[in-house]
Amino acid sequence: METIRKEQYQMRDFFLRRPYLQGGDAFVAYVPALDVSSCGATGEEAQRNIRGAVRGFLAASADLDTRRVS
């Protein structure tokens, strides 16, 4: 029986060169390297939300162990 080992990684803060774009009444933050976006009513809210979206994306990727190739 194979034992699945989950590794924990400390997540560090990240910075975006262009933290958000304004589109109509919303501000949109986008990380092209991960194809992840989020939005908010203000630029600051969009920045907070994109951090949460990236953390969620990375956590889901770690859970799926996307490093393995079948």
What is the pLDDT at residue 52? 92
How many C-alpha atoms does 51 have within 13 Å on its Cβ side? 12
What is the pLDDT at residue 4? 46
What is the pLDDT at residue 68? 59
Edge-first strand listing for the sheet containing 36-40:
21-23, 26-31, 36-40
Alpha carbon separation from 1 to 4, 37, 48, 63, 65 (Å, rounded): 10, 39, 42, 19, 18
CB atoms within 10 A of CB 14: 11
> What is the full per-residue pLDDT of the chain (70 aa) written as tens digits?
444 444 555 556 666 566 678 888 999 999 888 899 999 999 889 989 998 999 899 888 887 775 655 5
What is the pLDDT at residue 2? 46
Q: Is the pTM of this model over 0.75?
A: no
